[in-house]
Structure 1
Amino acid sequence: MTPFPTITTERLILREITPADATAMYEYLSDPEVTKQMALDPYESPKAIADEEIRWYHSIREQGTGIRWGITLKDKNIVIGSCGFLNRAKQHSRAEIGFELHPAHWRKGIASEAIQAVLSYGFQTYELQRIEAIVDPANTGSRQILQKHGFIEEGRLRQYEYFAGAFQDVLMYSILKTES
């Protein structure tokens, strides 16, 4: 496998997440306000993050179905969120983007800066034609960020995910390479 690609932006370094990052990730992945947007229950320990979330990041890269970067500020090597691709269908040149960020860093343009870098990587290096995003209709923050980056709302997928004991609707957004 090729070395993990590091992406540098004006304020951020997007890098590979390792088990050593589990404690920093626990700070936001144990927060119900963060995990409910991801259709996950809050994590109960850094060990659970290392065993489940970080292991999943590594497995999707190994399988070629995705890649997930840890978001760090340039002046600190602490993971404050993640952004990347999942559900990549190479034969169709499409993938789904996903992202989350520690609430202490919300509304500072950090998620937007990371998303822009990942979109560029997706269209240029991953050779994607279409990037999708699946969003909880109540998640206005993510919906606004996606729209800011040119994503178009395509419609509601009814009872698409099962979470918190019930089937949940989601909204499908997408952006095409020609629109970026």
Structure 2
Amino acid sequence: MRNGFPKLETKRLILREATKEDAHDMLAYLSDIEVVKHMGIDSCQTIKEVNEEIEWYQAIYEQSTGIRWGIALKESGKIIGSCGFLNREAKHYRSEIGYELSKEYWGKGIASEALAAVVKYGFENLQLERIEALIEPPNLPSQKLVERQGFIREGLLRHYEYTRGKFDDLYMYSIIKGDIKKV
């Protein structure tokens, strides 16, 4: 792990840099079609493919176009998903957010816990004004997740992405710094 890569801690989680040592844990969920079906990627079949995903995490961090944390359970250190920013436009103070979580941990509030920490980090440390989530219309759990975090659906982007041989419509959700309730 690199010095300087931020580590975030929540009640149950450590969000940290994913490394090639995490590849076996990550293959467990990135090979699951249910986990990746709304991500616009094919499921990973090999450690080599997972390592390519980890290399992408490292590249977006080094290029300052994003930052992707591995979601690790505090109790075991095992990576069970990832969450972070991509397509960051520092000049415009905005970034897209993305995430995935092992199916074994769905419905336990873990994605919500990780997302809240990452959103907070983006507003406080990356000086973001706007965070966007692009979500396929059939992905109702993801829509509910971001809505619980205070994201607002702004509209439908028709045929916004071309992935896996088809055009995908995506809902545009956003949260802006002023939407966060002061506690």
> TM-score, normalization: structure 2?
0.96
Report what 2:34 is aligned to.
33
Q: 1:108 aligned to 2:132?
A: no
Secondary structure class of the residue paired with 2:38: helix
CA shift, 1:48, in A, is 1.2
Q: Deviations over 1:34-57 (max 9, x none)?
A: 11110100111112110x200000
Structure 1 residue ranges (4+ consecutive) displaced by more than 3 angstroms after TM superposition: none
Q: Distance in 2 between matches of 1:164 and 1:17?
A: 25
Aligned counterparts, 1:64-83, within 5 A: 64-83=64-83
Tell me which amino acid in the other structure corresponds to 2:8. I
Q: Deviations over 1:132-154 (max 9, x none)?
A: 00001100010001000000001
Q: Deviations over 1:91-148 (max 9, x none)?
A: 1000000000000000000000000000100000011000000001100010001000
Structure 1 unaligned regions, length at least 5 = none
Q: Distance in 2 between matches of 1:78 and 1:140?
A: 27
Secondary structure class of the residue paired with 2:77: coil
Report what 2:133 is aligned to.
133
Report what 2:179 is aligned to.
179
Report what 1:43 is aligned to.
44
Quick one: percent identity of the two aligned structures? 53
Q: Distance in 1 between matches of 2:57 and 2:72?
A: 16
Q: Distance in 1 between matches of 2:94 and 2:168?
A: 24
Structure 2 unaligned regions, length at least 5 = none
Report what 1:18 is aligned to.
19
CA shift, 1:162, in A, is 1.4
Change in 2 beyond 3 A, CA 1:139/1:110: same
Question: How many pairs does the alignment contain?
Answer: 179
Q: Distance in 2 between matches of 1:116 and 1:149?
A: 7
Report what 1:159 is aligned to.
159
